[in-house]
Amino acid sequence: MAQGAGQDNGLESVPIASGSVPVRWRVSARARRISMRIDPVAGHVVMTLPRAARRADGLALLRAHSGWVAAGLARLPPAAELRHGGHVLLDGQSREIVHCPEARRGAWLEEGRLHVSGAAEFISRRVMAYLRAQAQVLLPARLRLQAEASGLRPTQLRLRDTKSRWGSCSSDGSIMLCWRLVMAPQEVQHYIIAHELAHLRHMNHGPDFWLLVDQLTPHRRQAEKWLRANGASLHRLVG
């Protein structure tokens, strides 16, 4: 989809052949054509219109692909509720959320459960803050270990909240990882880090690249399978 700075016209329920679907309309000065995508985090369709485009043409495109839209939304996992008694993943392990309203410690792991202090309405925000903080500690440390073992040294690591990529490597040797990987099993993290380290030598996905990936990690097939089954659910967590 063409991306760019633009105007967000809010969320709207739009009827299509399969029923009504939530749609967020965007007008972008940089878009050259009408496009649409499904936002896996928010769980709605994003329609992007060039400045000169008519809304009616966007509706026509949406309705012409109503089957694709309905199937894409149906495939999204339900958004997890970060509340007392709910669960969240850390390193692939499910942690029960325990609300401790009288405590003053933010969020902390104790006896295998994630305890959260303060008012109930802040549970989701504090759980997400805890996960981000863990990502800031764990992912850079694991990247350093794998980089040292492989002899492949990135120039820097950036953690971002990306929706379509778990990682990337730029031509200047900088690696980006999605912070949400901290929720995935360590084998999955190992594979994604190995994947990006391999790009330091091969900036493509050719045979030599995949050969190097398989030399750097034994977890490729297992990790790809896990991400196909569970990756979208990591993006559905909000706080």
pLDDT of residue 2: 37
**Segment 54-106, tens digit of pLDDT:** 999 999 999 999 999 999 888 887 777 899 999 999 999 999 999 999 998 89
Rounded Cα–Cα distance for residues 15 and 20 (Å):
4
**Segment 111-134, tens digit of pLDDT:** 999 999 999 999 999 999 999 999
Residue 85 burial (C-beta neighbours within 10 Å; 0-12, 13-18, 19+): exposed
pLDDT confidence bin for 9, thresholds 50/70/90: low
More reliable by pLDDT, 1 or 237 = 237
Percent of the chain at pLDDT > 70 equals 96
The pTM is what?
A: 0.79
Q: Quick check: 1 pLDDT over 50?
A: no
Q: Where in the chain is the domain with CATH 3.30.2010.10?
A: 87-235
87-235 is classed in which CATH architecture?
2-Layer Sandwich (3.30)
Distances, alpha carbon 210 to alpha carbons 71, 148, 164, 217, 223, in Å: 32, 20, 20, 11, 14
Contact 178, 160 (CB under 8 A): yes
pLDDT of residue 75: 85
Expressed in percent and rounded to 5, the helix, strand and coil fractions of the chain are 40, 30, 30
